[in-house]
Amino acid sequence: MVWQEDVYVIAMVTNLSEGGTIKCAKYWPDNTGDKIKIDIFGIQLDSEKTYSSFLIHQLQLTNLKTKASRQITHLQYTSWPDHGTPDPLELLMYHQYVTKAMRKHPENKLLVHCSAGIGRTGTFIALDALYRHGIKEGSINIVEYVHTMREDRMNIIQNLDQYKFLYRALYESFRATIHPFSKEKFIDEVKSVLSSDNTVNLSNLRIQFKELDSLKPVFQENEKSSGFENMTLNMTGSVLPADRIRIILSSHVKGRGTYYNAAPVSTFTMRDCVITGQYPVPGAAVDLIRLLVDQECSTLISTSPLSEVPSSIEWFYPSPRGNMIFQYRVQIDEGVKITDYVIKSTIRIKASAASDWQDVTLYEMNTWHTNDKLPLEYRPILDVVSLLHLNENVDAENKIAVLSRDGSSRCGEFCAVYNAIQQLQQDQEVDMFTIVRQLQRRRPEMISVFEEFMFSCQTVSQFIEQNPDEVNINYNHALVGENIYANA
């Protein structure tokens, strides 16, 4: 069918299996460079890119009889929950990439499929068609369009939740547009804000931040009930996680509850693999240890020197014998100054009932002092990002925990820079607007003032200028303690 109908782009909106049920047979090879043969067709996987909620495969489809070949862009959305609906912003980002792929083949048909071909497929087709119609004409009629679709395919858009989701997704799509910049354009935008002879109020980045400020969600008190019920465990009462998003501690410790002021966020390439949390309040160090164990964190990032954090004395002090914190033995080695701005340590944790130790690499930004609203240098964040890219495997089983005073400030700047650099490496462009918007969906307090937004942009701009020929990290900063250079 793909060959016959001259299809060049496939939007697949299902996983191969969900809930133990096979949803779709895999019709492309497993590994880059591999080939499979299906009847008279050969299919080769030329490349694969991983994003937080979807994959992009470049497939070479060859008719073995005629020897003719065709390049197929295959985009698989992987975050549509079984018996549910996805996050609107995540699906809109996926839709943006599908649209970008279709621009190369505007005269050809787009193939959309899920499992049955009516539920998710219909929802995505309606989103695509109505969005394009709305941008062109200024108005849409969802009821009429869905009725027209059902004349061609019965029961398309299968249930009420999918129909309601279509409204939400279209609402979000018309509220704001995507703002990707090339490397060169992004640097120019940052310089235009910093230039004294430019009208700052008219800069694109300032306009973007004002738009972000109007779009970020506001969680009501009843949506943060756990935070209010555990107010003594919060560093501040103004930054509380939403109940439906917060991390729930699962390991049992006598006298302790399930609450910790922490929330998951995604990187550009991996879903929910970063935990943004506050430092534990005095007397609650065991909750931080539980967080690291429960969430299988392999990396911990402190955005402040731990010597300036009052509660750190309860859990962070190097000792060869270790320290017992409730049922956990915690050992910490002597820190090594990896760069002028970062100290590296290893935390080893072992529950009394466990047979193995859990090792957590700690990166401590030792120059971003607690009284500094923003770092005096860009290097602390860039150094840690470089160390993560070179030394750490970040995925669902090796998560990163990032700590600050309230779990929002500093964490937001770090995550924004980290995600932007990943986007640069993946797509050779950066969209700080969408990156920050997605972070604020989990933590609305992140990057709450323009200075924080600009610092994040300036840090990314510095990274690009230090890597003019390629955005892949080629780390040659003066290092102490170990060699972490990699031509990567």
* Residue 62, both tokens: 């060859």
Distance CA 98, CA 241 (A): 33
The answer to whether 234 and 240 are in contact (CB under 8 A) is yes
Q: Is the dihedral of CA 379, 384, 385, 390 positive or negative?
A: positive
Is residue 301 within 8 A of residue 392, CB to CB? The reply is no
Residue written as token pair 């996805």: 86
Which of these is catalytic: 24, 114, 273, 457? 114
Does the annotation count 114 as an active-site position?
Answer: yes
Concatenated DSSP letters of 414-454: HHHHHHHHHHHHHHSEE-HHHHHHHHHHH-TTTT-SHHHHH
Q: What is the DSSP string of 10-54?
A: EEE-S-SEETTEE-----S-SSTT-EEEETTEEEEEEEEEE-SSE
Residue 459 parent element (H or E): helix 450-466
What DSSP character marks residue 295? Answer: T
Contact (CB, 8 A) for 180 and 430: yes
DSSP 357-408: -EEEEEEEESSS-TT-SS-SSSHHHHHHHHHHHHH---BTTBEEEEEESSSS
Decide the pairing of beta strands 342-351 and 336-337.
Answer: antiparallel
Rounded CA-CA distance 372/308 in Å is 12
First to last CA, the chain: 40
- Residue 41 — φ and ψ, nearest 5°? -115, 140
Distance of CA 179 to CAs 189, 266, 425, 437, Å?
12, 19, 17, 11
What residues act catalytically? 114
